C-alpha cells in the first residue's frame, strides 16, 4: 500500500510560494503520481496561477493526474456545523438544539472548521476511485498564520481531552460530538513529525526580513516536531542583466544574503532566478518545474544569456524555450490610463480632523510591502507634527526589522523619530491579558461552578483569535493620538479580523448565556462594537488603503478584498503601487520588459480601482533603518522632490 507524501510550502508573503507549490504539483503529476494541491490561504491565488476556476471542491487542473482545491472558510464552516449537528437533531430537544446552533455561530467555528477540513487531507481524503493520493501539496498562508495552523492539531487534541475530563463541553459544543476528531488530530500530529511522509519547504527571497522570518519559523517548526525542511531561494537577479549601477547594487545585496543563507541553514537549498514577466498557466508552471527539479547548473547558462520567460515577479529560472512570448510589449500596456496617474498627496487622504484620532489601515497580499509603506507613512506624519502610533497586527511582524530597533508589545517611542510611537500585538501576551481580564470580571459576577466553566472555556485554542481581536479593538478605540497606522496581516486574515466586530456583536456573553446578567453583558458589548464599527465606516475617522505590486495577482486579490470591505460598509480611500521600476535604470531588454509589464498593470490599477494611486519606487537596496525609511517617506509624500521615479 502506498503512503501519501505531504509537501507544505510556506514563507513570508510575496516570495513566490504559490508559484513554487503549483510548479511542484505539476512536476509530480507529470511524473505519473496522483497529485492534489490544496490551499489553506483565505486569500487564495491558485485559480489565478492555473488560470481556471477551482473553488471549494476537488477538480482537475488540466494536467493528467493533477487536481486542486481552495478551502473556503465559510463553506467549510457550514459543512462542519452540519456534520456535527445533523446526527443530534432527532435525539435532542428543540431547546437544546437552539442553544447548540447559537453556539456554532461563534467566530471560533470558522477557524476550527477550516482547520478540520485541512486535517482531512492528511488523514481521510481519497481520490475519486477511493485510493490514496500519491502526493498532497499544501500551499499555505504566510508564515505566521501557517504556524498557527500547524500547531492546532496538538492544541485541539489537548483541549478535547481536557474538556472530556472536565465539563464535557468545548467552545463549539459537547466533547462527545467532536470526540472522533481527536483521532484525526492525533494522526495529523504524527504525520507532521514523520520525515518519510512530510516535508516542509520554505520559500524565501535574498532579503533580510525574509531570512529573519524563515529562521524564526524553522525554529518553531522544530518545536512542534517537523523534522524535514528545505529552502527555495527565489527571485534572484541574474548577474548578466545587472550592468546598471542601480541593479548592480541590488544584485550585490542579494549575493551577500545568499552567502548568509547558505552559511546559516544546514538544509538543502535551491536557487531560482527572477524572470522578466509573469508565470501563469500550465505552460509557465511546466517550465518552472523543469528549473526547480532539473540540473540547476546547466539551466543557469540559459538564464544569464537569454533573459526571456514569464514570472510573477519573483520566481523561476528563465526558460529559453519561451522566446519571450509571454512578455508584455510596449503596444499593449494601456499607456493612456497609466499616464493619467498623477502623484497623490497622501497627506490629504489621511489627514486627521482636528481633535479626532484617525485610524489608517494598510493591507494587501502578503509581501507587497505593507510594512515598509506603513513605516514610511507613520514616519512622514510624525515628521509633520502629528502624534502618531504605528501598530502591527501581523503575527509575522517586521516593523522592528524595518526601523532597525526593537518593538515590543507595550507602546514605546521610536528612537530618532519625534512624535512616533510603535507597538506590536504579541499573541501570547494578548491571550494572557485577555484571560485575566475575563476571569477578573467573572470572579465578581459568577458562582464557583460558572467560574470553572469560564476557565475551561478560556483554554480553547479559539481564545488566541478572540484575544488578538480584543487587543485590536483596544487600539482602535484609543484617542490620545492624532493618527494610528495599522500594518495589518495579509489580506485574507485582515478581512477576517475586520469582520470580527460584526460576528462578535451577537456572540459576546455566550459563555454565560444561561445567567441573568448575560443580556446586560451583551448590551454593553453591543454598544462598544457599534461604536467601533461606526468608526471604521466613517471616512473622517478611518482610512483603508491597499498596497500592491504592479502585477496581476496582487491587484486581483486587492480588488476582491476592496469589494468585500464595501459589502461590509467600509470604503477604500487609496492604493499604493509599490516597487515601481524607474525607466532610467531599465537599460536592457530584461528590465525594459519588466517595466513594460508594470506599466500595463499601473494602468489596470488606475482603471480598475478608480481611486487615487500613490507610487513607491523600487530602491537600490532594502528599506531598513531610519535613513531609508525617510527616503521612502519622501517618495510617498513628496514625489516631486524624489523626481519622476516612475515616469
The string of DSSP letters for 199-264 reads EEEEEE-SSHHHHHHHHHHHHHHHHTT---EEEEEEEEPPGGG--SHHHHHHHHHHHHHHHHHHHH
Residue 151 pLDDT greater than 80, yes or no: no
Structure confidence at residue 32 (pLDDT): 95
Structure confidence at residue 101 (pLDDT): 67
Q: What percent of the chain has pLDDT over 70?
A: 68
**Using N-to-C axis directions, what is the helix angle for 108-123 and 175-192, rounded to 10°?**
50
Lateral strand order in the sheet of 412-413: 412-413, 420-424, 388-392, 483-487, 358-363, 542-548, 574-580, 613-617
Lateral strand order in the sheet of 135-139: 59-60, 66-70, 35-39, 135-139, 5-10, 198-204, 229-236, 269-273
Structure confidence at residue 429 (pLDDT): 76
| Any domain includes 317 | yes
Place of cell 456572540: 507
Least confident of 92-101, 184-193, 235-244, 492-501: 492-501
CA distance 614 to 597: 18
Q: Across the chain, which distance is largest between two alpha carbons, in Å?
A: 76
Residues 224 and 348 in one domain: no
Among 225-234, 321-330, 363-372, 487-496, the range of highest mean pLDDT: 225-234
| Any domain includes 286 | yes
Residues 399 and 314 in one domain: no
Residues 31 and 131 in one domain: yes
Structure confidence at residue 463 (pLDDT): 66
CA distance 103 to 307: 57
CA distance 478 to 484: 9
What is the average pLDDT value for the chain, to the nearest integer?
A: 76
Residues 15 and 114 in one domain: yes
CATH code of the domain covering residue 296: 3.40.50.300
Query: Residues of 371-385 as b/e, b for ≥16 C-beta within 10 angstroms?
Result: bbbbbbbbbbbbbee
Residue range 592-601: average pLDDT? 92
Last residue of a domain, one of 284, 305, 326: 326
Least confident of 140-154, 327-341, 427-441: 327-341
| Any domain includes 85 | no
| Any domain includes 90 | no
Residue range 18-42: average pLDDT? 90
Of 488, 570, 529, give the one whose Cα is nearest residue 142: 488
Residues 512 and 380 in one domain: yes
**Could you list the residue range(s) of the whole structural domain that residue 591 is in?**
339-641
Least confident of 400-404, 523-527, 616-620: 523-527
Residues 319 and 345 in one domain: no
Q: How confident is the model at residue 275 (pLDDT cuts 50, 70, 90)?
A: confident
Summarised one tens digit per residue, pLDDT across range 188-213 is 777 777 888 889 899 999 998 888 88
Exposed (0-12), middle (13-18) or buried (19+): which is 187, by Cβ within 10 Å?
A: middle
Q: How confident is the model at residue 392 (pLDDT cuts 50, 70, 90)?
A: confident
Of 191, 567, 638, give the one whose Cα is nearest residue 379: 638
Residue range 247-262: average pLDDT? 96
Residues 390 and 321 in one domain: no
Last residue of a domain, one of 291, 326, 361: 326
| Any domain includes 98 | no
| Any domain includes 99 | no
H or E segment and range at residue 136: strand 135-139
Asked whether the beta carbons of 471 and 426 are under 8 A apart, the reply is: no
Asked whether the beta carbons of 104 and 83 are under 8 A apart, the reply is: no
**Using N-to-C axis directions, what is the helix angle for 589-609 and 552-567, rounded to 10°?**
10
H or E segment and range at residue 33: none
Structure confidence at residue 631 (pLDDT): 94
Residue 108 pLDDT greater than 70, yes or no: no
User: How many independent structural domains does the chain possess?
Assistant: 2
Q: How confident is the model at residue 373 (pLDDT cuts 50, 70, 90)?
A: very high
Q: Which residue has the higher pLDDT, 335 or 606?
A: 606
User: Could you tell me how far CA 396 lies from the centroid of its own chain?
Assistant: 9
Show Cβ contacts of residue 47 under 8 Å, excluding neighbours closer than 6 positions: 53, 54, 55, 70
Q: What percent of the chain has pLDDT over 90?
A: 29
Residues 73 and 187 in one domain: yes
H or E segment and range at residue 362: strand 358-363
Residue 35 pLDDT greater than 80, yes or no: yes
Structure confidence at residue 524 (pLDDT): 64
CA atoms within 13 A on the CB side of 344: 21
Structure confidence at residue 213 (pLDDT): 80
Of 41, 10, 189, give the one whose Cα is nearest residue 114: 41
Of 244, 241, 242, 238, give the one whose Cα is nearest residue 258: 238
Last residue of a domain, one of 278, 304, 326: 326
Residue 301 pLDDT greater than 50, yes or no: no
Q: Which residue has the higher pLDDT, 29 or 153?
A: 29
State the pairing for strand pair 412-413/388-392. unpaired
Q: Which three cell numbers stand for residue 226?
A: 517537523
Of 377, 364, 407, 318, give the one whose Cα is nearest residue 577: 364
Residues 208 and 308 in one domain: yes
Summarised one tens digit per residue, pLDDT across range 68-86 is 988 887 787 777 777 777 7
Structure confidence at residue 264 (pLDDT): 92
Give the sign of the dihedral formed by CA 428, CA 431, CA 436, CA 437. positive
3-state secondary structure of 41: coil
Q: Which three cell numbers stand for residue 473?
A: 479593538
CA distance 171 to 469: 17
Residues 238 and 351 in one domain: no
Show Cβ contacts of residue 317 under 8 Å, excluding neighbours closer than 6 positions: 272, 273, 288, 291, 296, 299, 300, 302, 303
Q: How confident is the model at residue 352 (pLDDT cuts 50, 70, 90)?
A: confident
Summarised one tens digit per residue, pLDDT across range 566-582 is 887 888 999 999 999 99
Exposed (0-12), middle (13-18) or buried (19+): which is 368, by Cβ within 10 Å?
A: buried
Of 113, 110, 106, give the one whose Cα is nearest residue 505: 106
Asked whether the beta carbons of 273 and 317 are under 8 A apart, the reply is: yes
Residues 356 and 279 in one domain: no
Q: What is the pTM of this model?
A: 0.75
Structure confidence at residue 560 (pLDDT): 84
| Any domain includes 528 | yes
Asked whether the beta carbons of 313 and 551 are under 8 A apart, the reply is: yes
| Any domain includes 489 | yes
Q: How confident is the model at residue 623 (pLDDT cuts 50, 70, 90)?
A: very high
CA distance 642 to 567: 38
Query: Residues of 114-141 as b/e, b for ≥16 C-beta within 10 angstroms?
Result: bbbbbbebbbebeeeeeeebbbbbbbbb
Residue 107 pLDDT greater than 80, yes or no: no
Residues 359 and 425 in one domain: yes
Amino acid at each position: 500500500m502506498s503512503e501519501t507524501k505531504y509537501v507544505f510550502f510556506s514563507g513570508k508573503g510575496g516570495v513566490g510560494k504559490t508559484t513554487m507549490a503549483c510548479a511542484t504539483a505539476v512536476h509530480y503529476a507529470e511524473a505519473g503520481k496522483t497529485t492534489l494541491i490544496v490551499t489553506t490561504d483565505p486569500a487564495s491565488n491558485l485559480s489565478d496561477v492555473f488560470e481556471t476556476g477551482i473553488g471549494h471542491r476537488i477538480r482537475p487542473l488540466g494536467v493528467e493526474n493533477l487536481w486542486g482545491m481552495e478551502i473556503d472558510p465559510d463553506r467549510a464552516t457550514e459543512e462542519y456545523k452540519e456534520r456535527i449537528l445533523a446526527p443530534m437533531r432527532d435525539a435532542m430537544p428543540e431547546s437544546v438544539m437552539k442553544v447548540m446552533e447559537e453556539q456554532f455561530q461563534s467566530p471560533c467555528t470558522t477557524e476550527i472548521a477550516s482547520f478540520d477540513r485541512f486535517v482531512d487531507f492528511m488523514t481521510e481524503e481519497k481520490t475519486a476511485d477511493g485510493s490514496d493520493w500519491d502526493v498532497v501539496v499544501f500551499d499555505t498562508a504566510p508564515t505566521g498564520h501557517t504556524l498557527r495552523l500547524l500547531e492546532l492539531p496538538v492544541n485541539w487534541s489537548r483541549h478535547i481531552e481536557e474538556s472530556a475530563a472536565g465539563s464535557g463541553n468545548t467552545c463549539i459544543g459537547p466533547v462527545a460530538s467532536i470526540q472522533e476528531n481527536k483521532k484525526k488530530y492525533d494522526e495529523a500530529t504524527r504525520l507532521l513529525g514523520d520525515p518519510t511522509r512530510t516535508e516542509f519547504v520554505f520559500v524565501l527571497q535574498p532579503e533580510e526580513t525574509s531570512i529573519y522570518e524563515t529562521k524564526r519559523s524553522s525554529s518553531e517548526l522544530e518545536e512542534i516536531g517537523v523534522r524535514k525542511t528545505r529552502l527555495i531561494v527565489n527571485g534572484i537577479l541574474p548577474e548578466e542583466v545587472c550592468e546598471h549601477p542601480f541593479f548592480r547594487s541590488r544584485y550585490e545585496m542579494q549575493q551577500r544574503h545568499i552567502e548568509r543563507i547558505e552559511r546559516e541553514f544546514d538544509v538543502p537549498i535551491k536557487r531560482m532566478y527572477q524572470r522578466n514577466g509573469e508565470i501563469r498557466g500550465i505552460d509557465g508552471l511546466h517550465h518552472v518545474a523543469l528549473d526547480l527539479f532539473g540540473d540547476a547548473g546547466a539551466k543557469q547558462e540559459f538564464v544569464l544569456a537569454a533573459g526571456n520567460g514569464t514570472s510573477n515577479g519573483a520566481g523561476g529560472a528563465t526558460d529559453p524555450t519561451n522566446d519571450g512570448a509571454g512578455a508584455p510589449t510596449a503596444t499593449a500596456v494601456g499607456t493612456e490610463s497609466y499616464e493619467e496617474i498623477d502623484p497623490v498627496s497622501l497627506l490629504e487622504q489621511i489627514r486627521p480632523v482636528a481633535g479626532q484620532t484617525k485610524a489608517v489601515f494598510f493591507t494587501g497580499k502578503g509581501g507587497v510591502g505593507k510594512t515598509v509603506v506603513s513605516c514610511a507613512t507613520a514616519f512622514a506624519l510624525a515628521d509633520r507634527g502629528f502624534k502618531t502610533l504605528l501598530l502591527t497586527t501581523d503575527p509575522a511582524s517586521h516593523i522592528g526589522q524595518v526601523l532597525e530597533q526593537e518593538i515590543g508589545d507595550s507602546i514605546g517611542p521610536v528612537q530618532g523619530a519625534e512624535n512616533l510611537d510603535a507597538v506590536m500585538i504579541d499573541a501570547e501576551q494578548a491571550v494572557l491579558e485577555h484571560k485575566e481580564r475575563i476571569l477578573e470580571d467573572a470572579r465578581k459576577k459568577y458562582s464557583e461552578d460558572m467560574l470553572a466553566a469560564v476557565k475551561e472555556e478560556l483554554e480553547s485554542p479559539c481564545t488566541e483569535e478572540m484575544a488578538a481581536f480584543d487587543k485590536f479593538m483596544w487600539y482602535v478605540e484609543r484617542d490620545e493620538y492624532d493618527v494610528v497606522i495599522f500594518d495589518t496581516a495579509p489580506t485574507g486574515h485582515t478581512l477576517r479580523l475586520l469582520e470580527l466586530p460584526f460576528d462578535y456583536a451577537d456572540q459576546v456573553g455566550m459563555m454565560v448565556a444561561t445567567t441573568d446578567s448575560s443580556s446586560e453583558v451583551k448590551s454593553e458589548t453591543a454598544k462598544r462594537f457599534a461604536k467601533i464599527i461606526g468608526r471604521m465606516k466613517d471616512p473622517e475617522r478611518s482610512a483603508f488603503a491597499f498596497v500592491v505590486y504592479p502585477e496581476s495577482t496582487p491587484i486581483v486579490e486587492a480588488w476582491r478584498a476592496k469589494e468585500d470591505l464595501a459589502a461590509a460598509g467600509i470604503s477604500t480611500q487609496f492604493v499604493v503601487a509599490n516597487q515601481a521600476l524607474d525607466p532610467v535604470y531599465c537599460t536592457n531588454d530584461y528590465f525594459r520588459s519588466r517595466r513594460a509589464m508594470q506599466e500595463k498593470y499601473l494602468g489596470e490599477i488606475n482603471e480598475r480601482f478608480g481611486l487615487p494611486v500613490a507610487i513607491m519606487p523600487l530602491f537600490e537596496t532594502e528599506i531598513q533603518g531610519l535613513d531609508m525609511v525617510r527616503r521612502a517617506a519622501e517618495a510617498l509624500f513628496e514625489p516631486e522632490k524624489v523626481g519622476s521615479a516612475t515616469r
